[in-house]
Amino acid sequence: MRELSLQAQFNARVMSVTLIWSYALTMFKVTYERPKPYHRKTASPPIQFFPKNVWIVGSIFTVLTIIAQLNFGHGDDLAAWWIAARLVDQGRSSALYAIDPMDFALATGEDWQREALLISDAAALAHPYVHHPLIAYMLAPLTKIITFRAFVIIIAGINGFCFALLTASSISLWTRQATPTGVLVAGTSVLWLSTAGQLSIYLGQTSPLVFALIALSLVLSRKNPIASGVYIALAALIKVTPAIIIVVFLGFASRRKAGVSALFFSSIMIVVTYMWCGRAVMNSWLDTLSWINEKTLVSPINSSVDSLFAGTRNLTAIVQVISDTPVAVTVIKLCIALVLLGLLLLQCGSKTQHLFEICAVTALISSTALSGLVWLHYALVAIIPIAGTIIIRRNWGVLAVLLILFPPFGASYDNDFSTPLSQPWAALAALLVPLSMLLLSGIDKKSITLARIVSGIAQEFCGSARPSPRLSGTGHRSSNRNSGRNSLRPAPHNHKT
C-alpha cells in the first residue's frame, strides 16, 4: 500500500508540472513564434523523423520513466527476453518456448527455473518467452556485457522516449503537420499517466515502442517509404499484429512502396531467422503461436472478448488457460468485425481525404481488439483513433474515453477490496469506442451508393485516387501564420498529387 501511495504522489507531481509547462509553452508559441511563410512553388522542406520538440519532450519522459521504473517497476515481462537470450547464448535454444499449459504467466523446465532464480531480485515472476526467436538471438551477446537490471533501465528509457514519439506521430498522422510543443507535452503526459502507460512501465512492457513504430511508419509511408517499411517490419518482429499494416500499404497505390519495403525487410528477417536460428527453433515458435490461438487465456487484465466470456476463473492461476471457447465469443467477434467492415466500406464511398489513415487505423485497432489477447497496456494505441476523431471529425466527446483509461474504472484489477470499480472490459472499450466514433462520422448517407464505394476502392488501389492534402510529415512546420490556433487542423488540400 505504501508503494501505491508513493506512486500516486509521484504521478500527481508529474501531472501538475507537465500541465503547467504545457500551458506555458503553448502560450509562448502562439504569442511569440513567427513561422516562416511557406510557398507551394518552392521545394518542400525535408522530413525530419524526430523534430526538435520530440527530442526534448522525449528526453524528459525518458528520465521520468527511468525514475518510475527504479522506484515502482519490475522486470517480469522483460525477464522473458533476458532469459531467452541467456539460453541462446548458452546453446540451449531448444528450451526457449516453455509455457506452463495451465498458466500462461509461468514458464516450465529446469533451464527457465534456474535462470529465473538468478534475476529474482529484479523480476519476482519471470514470464515465458513467446516472441520471435530472432529477438533472443540478437540480444544474446548483450547478456555478456550488461546486467539484467541495466537492461530493464535501458528499455525503460526507450519506452519513455516512445511515449512522446507515439503522441507526436498520432497527431501528425491526421494533421500532416508537426505537433506543437504544448500539445505534445499535454498528450504525452496523459498517455504516460494513464493506466496503460503506468502498467507498461511497471511490467517493463514494450508496447510504447511497438505502437510508436507503427504510428511513425504510417506518418512516413508516403514521403519516406523505405524508412516506413523498416519501422513496420521492426514492429512486426516484436509483435505479430502490426503485419496487417503491410497489407493496407499494398492496397493503396500511394503507399505501395512502403508495403514493398516492409515486405522486403520482413523477408530478410525471415531468411536470417532460418539461417541463424534454425528451422527447429522457428517451427517451435510457430507451434507456440498456434497453441496460443487455440486457447482462451483468462486474466483480469486481458480485456479480450474471449477472456470476458470465459466464465469462472481458476483463482490459483495468474493467466488461466482454457481449451474450450464459448460459441458466443465467435458470434460476438464476427458481428463486431462485420459492423466495422461495413462502416469502413461506407467511408470508401465518402469524400474523406484521410481514407488511407482510416483504413490503416481500422485494421490495426480491429485486429488488436478482436485477438485473444487484449492486455490492459494495449489501450495505449487508442491515442491514434482518439486523435483522428478530434482532428478530422471535430468530435471532442471522444475524450469521455479517458474515464476508462484512468482509475477507478480503468484501474488494473488487483482485488475486490482495493480496486472495486475496475472494469475488465475497459481496454477493449478504449479501443473500439474511438474507432467507432471515427468511422461513424463523416459519412454522407444520401450520396453513398454501391458504385461510389467500388469506385473509391478502385481509385485508391489503382492510383487515380481522389485529391489528397499536402503532406508535411512529422517534421514540417506549418505555413499558417496562426499555427498556434490551427495546429490541430488538417493541412490544406493540394490537388497536384
Query: Cβ-count burial of 343 within 10 angstroms (0-12 exposed, 13-18 middle, 19+ buried)?
Result: middle
Residue 103 φ/ψ, nearest 5 degrees: -140, 110
- Whole-number average pLDDT of the chain: 83
All three cell numbers of 170: 498520432
Among 206, 232, 209, 207, CA closest to 219: 232
At 121 the pLDDT is 87
Query: For 431-490, what is each residue's pLDDT tens digit?
Result: 999 999 999 987 777 777 787 778 778 877 787 645 444 443 444 433 343 444 445 656
Query: Predicted confidence band at 48 (pLDDT cuts at 50, 70, 90)?
Result: low
Query: For 3-17, what is each residue's pLDDT tens digit?
Result: 444 454 445 445 544
Query: Predicted confidence band at 47 (pLDDT cuts at 50, 70, 90)?
Result: very low
At 124 the pLDDT is 85
Query: For 136-150, what is each residue's pLDDT tens digit?
Result: 999 999 999 999 999
Query: Predicted confidence band at 313 (pLDDT cuts at 50, 70, 90)?
Result: low
Q: What is the mean pLDDT of residues 379-402?
A: 94
Alpha-carbon distance of 220 to 375, in angstroms, equals 28
Would you say 347 and 353 are in contact if contact means Cβ atoms under 8 Å apart?
A: no
Q: What is the mean pLDDT of residues 267-277?
A: 93
Query: Predicted confidence band at 41 (pLDDT cuts at 50, 70, 90)?
Result: very low
Q: What is the mean pLDDT of residues 147-158?
A: 95
Q: Which residue has the higher pLDDT, 465 or 187?
A: 187
Q: Which residue has the higher pLDDT, 116 or 2?
A: 116
At 443 the pLDDT is 77
pTM of the model: 0.85
Query: Predicted confidence band at 221 (pLDDT cuts at 50, 70, 90)?
Result: very high
